[in-house]
């Protein structure tokens, strides 16, 4: 029933139902319990059921189910509506459910606009707490555009202890403002991931990757890029950027991404297993034999793979200098996750 409050302050609460309904409640503070105590309650309704409650707002739902969203931040609107209906026998509109979830997520993770307003303060704190760190922030017409972050400890560790092997990848930033997160991840002596730097850009293209890699190269003081090995997917803009900035470096492609493109034309476990057998070949003789078997299976599939530089995806042709024979770009995938 829609309850109306005649008085509602720190000293008393008087609530009643419809004008002709005898339901009534009076509560006031109690000095012994130091809390509100119900003094008077006429707990009988004579009014008819009302199917809409003004008090059942999105703010109320957000506060009531805050911990549910904290435990499961991927709860769908449908599941949220079912939970509300189970607890209250109410069926709120989809827009109210969406507003309640948005308010709860904002309370848990903070206001996105407010967080963007703190980026300059965050950059200053990084430089103060970790001298030597780098954080560039580009603003266009007073609005955030791109940023690049590299901590001094990560930079020193990458140049003194890690292998000359870096993995490049991007992932979508799932906020209402969108954007792309570019990451550079290396491999430490324990074969664990070692993030070098990251950048937030509007779109992933050749210019964004070129700017990010150029900034990274200058920041790390890399002069001889021919000693480095760069692994990435076969995204055209990324390949062009690596070729321009890390000239002479060995480029490797993630075999999983290569197979995804390959499987669009040649499907089935037979082609998949043979492609991976070629990629895992440890010597040139095995690679040649597996390629000939692929030719026997399908001439066009053989021509497709033969057109790709084998040093970019087949172990038999990898350079021995980085002491790394990874075929997958899982380092970046794990870090992005």
In a domain, 220, yes or no: yes
Domains: count for the chain: 2
Which residue, 18, 35, 55, sits at the end of a domain? 55
Report the distance separating Cα 283 and Cα 280, nearest Å. Answer: 9
Same structural domain, 175 and 321: yes
Residue carrying the six token digits 């996750």: 337
In a domain, 49, yes or no: yes
**pLDDT given at position 82:** 93
258: three-class secondary structure by DSSP: helix
CB environment 251-274: b (16+ within 10 A), e (fewer): bbbbbebbbeebeeebeeeebeeb
The answer for residues whose C-beta is within 8 angstroms of residue 68's C-beta and 6 or more apart is: 75, 80, 83
Tokens of 255: 């075999």
Does the global pTM surpass 0.75?
no
Same structural domain, 142 and 40: no
Residue 13, number of CB atoms within 10 A of its CB: 18
Range of the domain at 287: 132-336
Same structural domain, 139 and 31: no
Report the distance separating Cα 22 and Cα 25, nearest Å. Answer: 10
In the chain, which residues have pLDDT < 50?
none
Same structural domain, 281 and 159: yes
Same structural domain, 280 and 157: yes
> Taking CA 336 as the corner, what is the angle to CA 331 and CA 337, rounded to the nearest 5 degrees?
100
Which residue, 9, 24, 55, sits at the end of a domain? 55
Same structural domain, 142 and 35: no
Question: How would you classify residue 163: left for phi > 0, otherwise alpha for psi between -120 and 50, otherwise beta?
Answer: beta
- Secondary structure (H, E, C), 274-313: HHHHHHCCCCHHHHHHHHHHHHHHCHHHHHHHHCCCHHHC
Tell me which DSSP letter residue 221 carries.
T
Tokens of 31: 């000095």
Q: Which of 189, 203, 238, 196 is nearest to 219 (CA)?
A: 196
Same structural domain, 308 and 221: yes
Same structural domain, 176 and 312: yes
**pLDDT given at position 1:** 61
Same structural domain, 51 and 168: no
CB environment 33-64: b (16+ within 10 A), e (fewer): eeeeeeeeeeeeeeeeeeeeeeeeebeebbee
In a domain, 67, yes or no: no
In a domain, 235, yes or no: yes
In order, the DSSP letters of 77-143 are HHHHHHHHHHHHS----HHHHHHHHHHHHHHHH--HHHHHHTHHHHHHHHHHHSTT-EEEEEEETTE
**pLDDT given at position 19:** 73
Same structural domain, 313 and 187: yes
Same structural domain, 163 and 280: yes
Is residue 261 within 8 A of residue 233, CB to CB? The reply is no
Report the distance separating Cα 104 and Cα 12, nearest Å. Answer: 30
In a domain, 215, yes or no: yes
In a domain, 291, yes or no: yes
Terminal alpha carbon distance of the chain:
47
Residue 91, number of CB atoms within 10 A of its CB: 10
Which residue, 10, 34, 55, sits at the end of a domain? 55
Q: Which of 5, 12, 16 is nearest to 41 (CA)?
A: 16
Same structural domain, 1 and 136: no
């Amino acid at each position: 029933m829609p309850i109306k409050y005649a008085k509602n302050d720190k000293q008393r609460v008087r609530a009643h139902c419809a004008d002709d309904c005898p339901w009534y409640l009076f509560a006031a503070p109690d000095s012994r319990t130091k809390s509100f105590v119900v003094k008077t309650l006429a707990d009988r309704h004579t009014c008819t059921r009302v199917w809409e409650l003004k008090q059942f707002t999105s703010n109320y739902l957000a506060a009531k189910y805050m911990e549910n969203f904290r435990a499961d931040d991927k709860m769908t609107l449908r599941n949220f509506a079912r939970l509300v209906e189970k607890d209250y026998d109410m069926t709120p509109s989809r827009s109210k459910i969406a507003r309640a979830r948005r308010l709860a997520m904002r309370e848990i993770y903070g206001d996105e606009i407010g967080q963007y307003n703190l980026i300059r303060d965050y950059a200053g704190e990084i430089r103060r707490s970790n001298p030597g760190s780098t954080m560039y922030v580009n603003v266009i017409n007073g609005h955030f555009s791109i940023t690049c972050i590299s901590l001094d400890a990560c930079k020193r560790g990458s140049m003194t202890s890690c292998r000359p092997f870096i993995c490049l990848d991007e992932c979508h930033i799932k906020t209402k403002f969108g954007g792309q997160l570019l990451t550079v991840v290396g491999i430490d002596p324990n074969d664990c991931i070692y993030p070098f730097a990251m950048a937030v850009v509007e779109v992933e293209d050749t210019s964004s990757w070129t700017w990010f890699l150029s900034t990274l190269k200058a920041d790390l003081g890399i002069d001889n890029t021919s000693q480095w090995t760069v692994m990435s997917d076969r995204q055209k803009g990324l390949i062009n950027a690596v070729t321009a900035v890390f000239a002479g470096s060995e480029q490797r492609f993630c075999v999983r991404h290569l197979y995804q493109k390959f499987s669009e034309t040649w499907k089935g476990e037979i082609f998949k297993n043979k492609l991976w057998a070629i990629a895992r070949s440890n010597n040139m003789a095995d690679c040649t034999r597996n390629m000939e078997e692929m030719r026997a299976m399908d001439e066009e599939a053989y021509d497709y793979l033969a057109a790709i530089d084998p040093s970019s995806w087949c172990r038999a042709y990898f350079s021995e200098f980085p002491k790394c024979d990874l075929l997958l770009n899982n380092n970046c995938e794990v870090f992005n996750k």
